[in-house]
Structure 1
Amino acid sequence: MTTVPTAGPDAGPETGTKAGTETGTKAGPETGTEAAGESSPGPAPQKTTGSFLAKAALVTAALSVAGSLLGLVRDQALAHFFGAGSDTDAFLVAWTVPELAATLLIEDGLAFFLVPAFSLALARRAADPDSDPVRDLVRASLPRMSLWFAGAALLLVAAAPAVVGLLAPGLPDPGLAVDCTRLTATCAFTFGLTGYCSAALRAHQRFVAPATVYVAYNTAIIAALFLLAAPFGVRAAATGVAVGGALMVLVQAPSLWRELRRRPAGAPAAREADGDKTLQTALIWTVLFFALCRQSQVLIERFLASSLPAGAISHLNYAQKVAQMPMVLSLMLCTVTFPFVARALAAGETERARERVERDLVLAGCLVLLGAAAVVGTAPALIELLFQRGHFTARDTGVTASVMRVYALGLLGHTMVGALARAHFSVARKTWLPLHAMVIGVVTTAGIGFLTVGTWGVHGIAAANATGICVTALLLLRGLGPRTVPVRTRAVLGQLARLTAAAACAAVLGALTESAVGRPVLAVLASGAVVTVSFALCGLLLKAQPWPSALRSATRVVARSAHRSATRSATRSATRPASRSATGEPRHDR
């Protein structure tokens, strides 16, 4: 059995809150932006206050928005050069490999067991400064995992024809897809190293470097398209994937190296791996199977769409990429708080973990529902504004916009699955419930997809995706309990139901506004404004949880700012006469 050293339950109850302060209520000297940069040598304190989490989430969200916007530019460039035809379909089949690798190795799979493992190791190191279980964990896991990543990449390169035949048996030009797949197969190695670095840095409360990976990745793809599209065609995009994967590792390696160079006082320079505490293979495979099963929804979509007319896969891809932007942004908060939940559970502070998870679920639901309402309301004008140029026609815009509206119905489910899976896996022990829930959701997706693809085409595939993921989300929420995080299910569902009603009303008003405005830019702006205002007003009327707390927070911020201004003014007034009396001479200000 493969084992990886990590911290065990003997980390002690004090480590969850005493890493940086006595009560766990002080943020420490570092700011949110400094959390990922250089700092003084020695073990960094744990920062758990709302201000630190807010700063870290804002920095992470800002960089993620930049990465997402570059992703849109990437899709625009792909649509401009190749439209929604057979060449694009061939690349998107190969694109399945980095999509799957990103889910398994960066976003979900590795993070779900490595973040708790590193968090527990850090807690153990804080309790016993004479040892360094963090380095033990790296020495035992990184070389072995690197070999697995490299082997997977080589296997994908060799098996590219079989992979293309399995994913899209009805593809008109499988040879082009095979070439692209062999180029994108390198991401099995580079994404694996990227995910390892991201998990380790987030556990150390360093969030900036992991948030920059998609900025580097999409920049490489865009540059490759503009430089190589003419001589190499759509293979240029696949080349960009290979280069971008390497850049994702390079932007994180210096930060991780600085963290690993830290040694707690009294720690030996080198230690043999301590094997008494192990992260068993069963936990790793549970997490990876869950992530693979979740990503299999995309595989089902590509398989079903390959039998439809040319361009179907492209329409699904563009619609999904734009529709999922609100989900990506809403999950940034859960990404930041995941290490803190793991540390709280490791310290036995179940109540603190429960409160954090409940707040995350409601706030993430609020953000994604606002985004979903905006997607539904602005869909036709937004797709026209983003993609309708070059080989992307008005017909492509209409089909993509209608599919995107169907996709948006499942955005809350996708967000809840991402947030709830983190809650289930934060306990750092084997649990099969997330995998069982995901299997049921995938079976639901496949069944509805096979039944509806002949009648509704791409719209039936999108509806199947939304239904399946919502089933999984409900099962995951129901499965939280004493062995994981005992979330108050009825209270959370009640708040999400109110927010859903507000989002439905806002989406209808936004769609009416979009259809009444002619030009795409004005339609997107007007519809987005109507959606935002109506969602906020409906949320207040329905007493949805985020709004009263948001108003109270805004009131406190304004009052605090006014108090600080008054204090500074009073201090200046008192300082001038005091300085005269202290010197005995009149002071002449210049």
Structure 2
Amino acid sequence: MVGVRARRGRAARRRTGRVRPAPEGRAVTAPRGTAAAPGGPDASGVPEVSASAASASAVEPARERGGFIARAAAVTAALTAAGALAGLVRDQTLAHLFGAGAATDAFLVSWTLPEVAATLLIEDAMALVLVPAFSLALSRRAATAVSATPATERPTGPAAYEDPSAVPDPVRALLAATLPRLLLVLGCLAALLAAGAPLLVDLLAPGLPERGTAVDCTRLTALTVLTFGTAGYFSAALRAHRRFVPPAAIYTAYNVGIVATVCVLHTAWGVRAAAAGVALGGALMVLVQLPAFLRALPVRNASARAESGNHDGLARGEGEKNVPAHPADALSAAGAVVVPVVLFALTRQAQVLVERFLASSLPAGAISHLNYAQKVAQIPMVLSLMLCTVTFPVVARALADGEPERARSRVRRDLTLAALVVLLGAAYVVAYAPQIVELLFQRGAFTAADTAATASVMRVYALGLLGHSLVGALVRPYFSAGRPTWYPAGAMAAGLLVTVVAGALTAGPWGVYGIAAANAAGITLTAGLLLRALDATPDHAPARASRDGHGPVRRARYARSPLPVPVGLGTVLPTLARLLLATAVAATAGWAVAPLCGAALPSAAAGALVVPAVFGVTAFAAGVPEVPQLLSTATRRFRHDR
């Protein structure tokens, strides 16, 4: 009877997540299979993993096993598709009302500011710096809550992951130390750019015919520096807190604001209405996230705790000796990461600046053709990176919790899935570019000649889609550990150099096609350099007992790679080669079928069936492992829904 009761008690404790108090003099060790939190350095300088914070970090794998990532990716995919659709409606509206002439070129020059701001403040720099910072703060919050609570009273499930009772809260302290300063800097920068709009236009497009229009539009779009920065901060904080719906909805709100403003004001303001719409859309990006942000991170509590001066009194476990407790220390650590991240983002966005600078000396409409082709061609890239957007906080949190193997496995899957999605889209773009452009833009002021030119440029851009997607997917692991690394910026600078030299040499004889080809060559080189750095194998030391007896210690050294989570080139290149083969076969089949269907709509619809079918069959025959897995998942889902 006693044995039965003991077994029942152990089963109940496993269900509730409670831990039996350890006898006096014995350490409480983490359950077998649970992840460990980062620890202080041992004699070899390798971080130790203490068992005191293991229960907090164990929640993350449970979330992944429970389908959290799949659900978040599905929601993000739906909202990303909605944003892309709204972006297409925006481009259709601009093409219909303003065509591809000198006025549109002037607006697109002013649109350079929002594009650079989006890269720096939403998509790359802000997220790459703040998601790891908030993930680290959340890890410290969870570890502190666990270490300060008796074992029999520790919460389980999501409460163990995010316990608001810890005082002072490191997450809110980080918020109070960063957000006010950021808003002040961005506000001053926006005012400075608006005042210097004439000089900026001359610098970006010295040969632009409608300079005055471009200056007026630039003064309006300069407001996006403030609004995009605020929206990017909100997005990073919410994603670190596993709130993905509001950040995924920002581009839908942005494009709706542009379309609505253009429809209302285009008669009176002309193309300047589009610039006003950009300014309004930036404000909507902030408003759509504000309620969720205030619920997740109350600003009033953050300010009060930041001013209390008790940051140094935050209790730390053995696994947090190297984590800065004071916001000033956190800012200093983040500052070391900001410079290489910003340099990488600026160098990446400089490709667009180079394109428009070179195209400004070409006939009117060249910038517009490049813009429309790039916007449509990059839709597969945006869709391919949605999974990386969802899993970036997972990778950052895994590294903050001292679990590099979980991060490594996640990055490897993300690379393969991103390549699969973008190459499938590239095959369709190459095969059906004329039909796509005709359906989307050929009406009003956008002529058949514009369609032919844009479609040809789009096919050239498609050659660099894999490079763009890989760069976007690979740069996240580089900065997910929250430590400075200059390698991505160096790789991007090498690619930019190729773009500049090749574009300058080919813009004259080949026009916009040479500029697009230079873009593809530069980004492909960058992707190759980043992939080359993956060729490193982690040197795992076996688990051993810690000196103080507090459970197991796990060590992992990555000596030869700038990546905190090297994957191994031998596991990535064969899969990419098979996917490229499937892309070539699918694009060829689609190109052959396209003329048989006549009009653009039935031809594009037939291609939506032919290209994925041929791509899937070829990839399956070539042995891409993700294809059978995706088919199995889809089959199970279909049977479940029935």
Q: Which residue, 54, 67, 86 being the options, matches 2:70?
A: 54
1:492 aligns to 2:572 (yes or no):
yes
Deviations 1:369-399 (A, max 9, x none): 0011111111001100100000100000000
**1:58 alignment partner AA:** A
Deviations 1:187-208 (A, max 9, x none): 0000000000000000000000
Q: Which residue, 610, 618, 621 being the options, matches 1:530?
A: 610
Show the 5 A alignment for 1:140-179: 140-179=177-216
Aligned twin of 1:279: 333
- Structure 1 residues 325 and 378, CA gap change in structure 2 (3 angstroms): same
Q: CA deviation at 1:517?
A: 1.9
Given that 2:176 and 2:306 are in contact with CA atoms closer than 8 Å, whether structure 1 keeps it comes out as no
Aligned twin of 1:235: 272
- Structure 1 residues 338 and 271, CA gap change in structure 2 (3 angstroms): farther
**2:431 alignment partner AA:** G
- Structure 1 residues 179 and 17, CA gap change in structure 2 (3 angstroms): farther
Bigger shift: residues 345-354 or 157-166: 345-354
Given that 1:338 and 1:422 are in contact with CA atoms closer than 8 Å, whether structure 2 keeps it comes out as yes
Given that 1:380 and 1:401 are in contact with CA atoms closer than 8 Å, whether structure 2 keeps it comes out as yes
CA distance in 2, matches of 1:208, 1:198: 10
Q: Which residue, 112, 127, 135 being the options, matches 1:96?
A: 112
Q: CA deviation at 1:276?
A: 4.3
Q: CA deviation at 1:19?
A: 3.5
CA distance in 2, matches of 1:228, 1:538: 50
- Structure 1 residues 555 and 89, CA gap change in structure 2 (3 angstroms): closer
Aligned twin of 1:423: 477
Q: Which residue, 104, 118, 124 being the options, matches 2:134?
A: 118
Given that 2:384 and 2:422 are in contact with CA atoms closer than 8 Å, whether structure 1 keeps it comes out as yes
- Aligned positions, number: 533
CA distance in 2, matches of 1:163, 1:99: 15
Given that 1:79 and 1:390 are in contact with CA atoms closer than 8 Å, whether structure 2 keeps it comes out as yes
1:247 aligns to 2:263 (yes or no):
no
1:65 aligns to 2:81 (yes or no):
yes
CA distance in 1, matches of 2:53, 2:636: 29
Report the secondary structure of 2:565's partner residue: coil
Q: CA deviation at 1:488?
A: 1.5
CA distance in 2, matches of 1:268, 1:280: 20
**2:582 alignment partner AA:** A
- Structure 1 residues 269 and 280, CA gap change in structure 2 (3 angstroms): closer
Aligned twin of 1:331: 385
CA distance in 1, matches of 2:606, 2:515: 30
CA distance in 2, matches of 1:14, 1:344: 15
Q: CA deviation at 1:364?
A: 0.5
Deviations 1:518-566 (A, max 9, x none): 111101001121101000010011011211222333455567x49xx9x
Report the secondary structure of 2:333's partner residue: strand
What is the TM-score with the length of structure 2 in the denominator?
A: 0.80
Aligned twin of 2:155: none
1:214 aligns to 2:251 (yes or no):
yes
Q: Which residue, 377, 380, 401 being the options, matches 2:434?
A: 380
Given that 2:172 and 2:305 are in contact with CA atoms closer than 8 Å, whether structure 1 keeps it comes out as no
Aligned twin of 2:627: 547
Bigger shift: residues 188-197 or 522-531: 522-531
**1:102 alignment partner AA:** A
Deviations 1:61-102 (A, max 9, x none): 101111111100000000011100000000000000000000
1:515 aligns to 2:569 (yes or no):
no
Q: CA deviation at 1:151?
A: 1.3
CA distance in 1, matches of 2:72, 2:465: 24
- Structure 1 residues 102 and 16, CA gap change in structure 2 (3 angstroms): farther
CA distance in 1, matches of 2:53, 2:100: 51
Deviations 1:190-235 (A, max 9, x none): 0000000000000000000001111111001000111000000000
Given that 1:88 and 1:234 are in contact with CA atoms closer than 8 Å, whether structure 2 keeps it comes out as yes
Q: CA deviation at 1:479?
A: 2.0
- Structure 1 residues 152 and 23, CA gap change in structure 2 (3 angstroms): closer
**2:366 alignment partner AA:** A
Given that 1:132 and 1:263 are in contact with CA atoms closer than 8 Å, whether structure 2 keeps it comes out as no
- Structure 1 residues 268 and 237, CA gap change in structure 2 (3 angstroms): closer
**1:106 alignment partner AA:** I
Given that 2:38 and 2:401 are in contact with CA atoms closer than 8 Å, whether structure 1 keeps it comes out as no
- Structure 1 residues 556 and 263, CA gap change in structure 2 (3 angstroms): farther
Q: CA deviation at 1:342?
A: 0.6
Aligned twin of 2:549: none
**1:110 alignment partner AA:** M
CA distance in 1, matches of 2:354, 2:268: 33
CA distance in 1, matches of 2:450, 2:65: 47
CA distance in 1, matches of 2:133, 2:614: 43
1:322 aligns to 2:359 (yes or no):
no
Q: CA deviation at 1:513?
A: 1.4
Deviations 1:336-381 (A, max 9, x none): 0000001111122111111100000000100000011111111001
Given that 1:421 and 1:434 are in contact with CA atoms closer than 8 Å, whether structure 2 keeps it comes out as yes
**1:340 alignment partner AA:** V
Q: CA deviation at 1:51?
A: 1.2
Q: CA deviation at 1:114?
A: 0.3
CA distance in 2, matches of 1:551, 1:329: 19
CA distance in 2, matches of 1:233, 1:449: 32
RMSD (CA atoms): 2.2
- Structure 1 residues 434 and 25, CA gap change in structure 2 (3 angstroms): closer
Identity %: 58
CA distance in 2, matches of 1:378, 1:269: 56
